[in-house]
């Protein structure tokens, strides 16, 4: 846990609620110095008052202890729109830098070599582009990310791809994900 990030988040919530350190401390029956230590990242709130603190600051314990970040499950959500945007960005680099720019050609050559494909021609063909998008989603699923199946069903014309993604979701839920 990042004490300083948590402290800054507590301070932000306190100020948003229009409370001074002293007023927050009084609501929690603690000293204002304890609130100051949280906000400076010196200490963390005691578990005995954590839920009351969260209620007072209108947040959840998970969000508070993540310093305002979304819960881990939500952070792990993989959106189809983001994957599509990622491929658009790859194409944009060629247009922005020039397709003969070393940065662009090196990036494309690296992807082509690693995946044994011709990325630019795959991106031009709608069918192979869909396959690549599905592959990115499947890789994410296998590494523990989640997807919204309603979004997948609406976003893919090819229903066989939707079923393939659904099978990988089922496969991933059968075996636990290990992370290094």
Cα separation, 23 vs 44, in Å, equals 18
Q: How many CB atoms lie within 10 A of CB 25?
A: 17
pTM above the 0.95 mark?
no
Task: Report yes or no on 180 lying in a domain.
Answer: no
Residue 104 and residue 129 share a domain:
yes
DSSP 8-state assignment for residue 1: -
Residues 68 and 122 grouped into a single domain: no
Please determine, for residue 32, whether its predicted confidence score (pLDDT) is greater than 80.
yes
Q: Are 84 and 170 members of one domain? A: yes
Report in angstroms the alpha-carbon separations of 36 from 21, 23, 49, 51: 7, 12, 15, 18
Domain boundary pick from 49, 75, 101: 75
Task: Determine the pLDDT at residue 52.
Answer: 94
Distance set, CA 155 to CA 23, 25, 127, 149 (Å): 50, 50, 13, 10
In a domain, 24, yes or no: yes
Same domain, 24 and 55: yes
Q: Are residues 57 and 85 in the same domain?
A: no
Q: Is pLDDT above 50 for 19?
A: yes
Say if residue 145 is in the same domain as residue 106.
yes
pLDDT(176) > 60: no
- Torsion over CA: 21, 25, 31, 35 (sign): negative
pLDDT in tens, 40-98: 999 999 989 999 999 999 988 888 888 886 554 445 889 999 999 999 999 999 999 99
| Residue 58, in any domain of the structure | yes
3-state DSSP call for residue 102?
Answer: helix
CATH of the domain at 17: 1.10.260.40
Residue 57: its pLDDT value, please?
A: 94
Sign of the alpha-carbon dihedral angle for 39, 76, 83, 122: positive
- Is position 179 within any domain? no
The answer to whether 112 and 119 are in contact (CB under 8 A) is yes
Q: Are residues 84 and 66 in the same domain?
A: no
Residue ending a domain, choose from 21, 45, 75: 75
Residues 87 and 167 in one domain: yes
Q: What integer pLDDT is reported at residue 175 of this predicted model? A: 60
Instruction: Indicate whether 170 and 103 sit together in one domain.
Output: yes
Which of 57, 75, 93 is where one domain is finished? 75
Please give the residue range of the domain that contains residue 123: 80-174
> How many domains are contained in the chain?
2
Predicted confidence at residue 70, as pLDDT, reads 57
Predicted local distance difference test score (pLDDT) of residue 98:
94
Please tell me whether residues 39 and 87 are part of one structural domain. Answer: no
- List pLDDT tens digits, range 106-153: 999 999 999 999 999 999 999 999 999 999 999 999 888 899 998 999
User: Could you tell me which residues are beta bridge partners of residue 146?
Assistant: 77
Q: Is 147 exposed, middle or buried (0-12, 13-18, 19+ CB in 10 A)?
A: buried
pLDDT at 2 over 90: no
């Amino acid at each position: 846990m990042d004490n300083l990030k948590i402290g800054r988040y507590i301070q932000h919530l306190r100020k948003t609620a229009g409370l001074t350190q002293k007023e927050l401390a009084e609501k929690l029956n603690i000293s204002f110095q304890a609130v100051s230590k949280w906000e400076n990242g010196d200490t963390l709130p005691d578990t005995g008052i954590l839920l009351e603190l969260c209620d007072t600051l209108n947040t959840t314990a998970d969000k508070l202890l993540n310093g305002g970040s979304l819960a881990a499950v939500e952070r792990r959500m993989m959106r189809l729109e983001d994957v599509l945007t990622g491929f658009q960005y790859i194409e944009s680099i060629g247009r922005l830098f020039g397709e003969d720019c070393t940065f662009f050609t090196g990036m494309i050559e690296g992807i082509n070599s690693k995946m044994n494909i011709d990325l630019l021609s795959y991106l031009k063909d709608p069918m192979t582009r869909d396959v690549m998008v599905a592959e990115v989603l499947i890789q994410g699923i296998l590494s523990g990310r989640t997807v919204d199946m309603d979004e997948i069903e609406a976003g893919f014309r090819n229903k066989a791809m939707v079923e393939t993604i659904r099978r990988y979701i089922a496969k991933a839920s059968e075996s636990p994900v290990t992370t290094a």
